[in-house]
Every structure is written in structure tokens, then in C-alpha cells.
Amino acid sequence: MKRAIFAICIGLCTAGATQALAADEPENVIKYRQAVMKAIGGHIGAIAGVVKGEVSYTGDVAAHARGIQEMSQLVSKLFPKGTDNGMHKNTRALPEIWQDWDKFGAAVKAFQDASADLVKIAEAGDPAAFGGGLKGLGTSCGGCHKPFRAEKK
């Protein structure tokens, strides 16, 4: 009986380990990365709608800003080696990310800092200041996208 339980446990652990390894295949990591980036873009788009006066949900801006800040903490780990556009057709991530990891890391840090600034601005609750915070965030986004992301084809 003990041997049977042990065999079942070993089988489950092995299956779980195999599944975990498959989950981190480059194509799956790229899909995950793109989903996180789309989530960030969704929050930015929602804030932009408020800033442009298209919607009046000024009370929601802080929640969106916090969402961006939370997602910003994930960005660095979303770029493991082997997930660039030189190896995969479905990503615009340039090899320069890994060739100059320090510069990429500095750009990610600038994005994280800008997202923290946006949270402070949003939580202060002054809708007139939201645009400036969003502009600062956009500048930090360009700090990654311009040198590290291929143009759309």
C-alpha cells in the first residue's frame, strides 16, 4: 500500500514538473508577455478616456494606475533569453533587449517609477493632473518600445 501511494506521488510530481516545463516554452512565455502588455495598454486606454473627457470615471483612475504599477513589476521577468523576434515570428521584442540588458533594465525601472508617480497623482484625485501623469508614463513606455521593440509590419 505504501509503495502504491509512493508511486502515485512520484507520478503526480513528475507530471507536474513536465507540465511546468512545457508551460515555460518560449511561445507560451511570449503569449503571456503579450497578455500582460495588453493589460497595461487597457489600463492606459481607460485612463486616456478619462483624460480626454470621453468618460467621467475620474474615480476609477487610481485603480487603473495601481493596475499598471502592479503589472510594471512583472515586466523584467517576461523577457527570458530565447523569446526575441530573431527566434520567433510572433513577437516584436528585439535581440537588443538581451544584448544590452542593463539599458533595458534601466528603461523598465523608468517605467516602474513613472507608474508609481501616476498612482500618486491619481490617488491625489485631481483630474487636471491626470494628463501630466499619463504623459510621463507614455514617455517611459517609449523608453522601451523605441529601442527594444520592432516596428509593426
Q: Which cell numbers hold the place of 11?
A: 507520478
Cα distance between residue 10 and residue 40, in whole Å: 40
Locate all alpha helices (DSSP H) within 82-126, ordered by sequence: 96-99, 101-124
Cell numbers found for residue 22: 512545457
pTM of the model: 0.83
Enter the C-alpha cell of residue 24: 515555460
Q: What is the pLDDT of residues 11-40, one digit of tens each?
A: 555 455 444 556 789 999 999 999 999 999
Q: What is the DSSP secondary structure assignment for residue 149, as one 8-state letter? A: B
Task: Give the CA count within 13 Å in the CB-facing half-sphere of 101.
Answer: 7
Which domains are present in the chain? Answer: 26-148 (1.20.120.10)
**Which range among 33-42, 86-95, 97-106 shows the weakest confidence by mean pLDDT?**
86-95
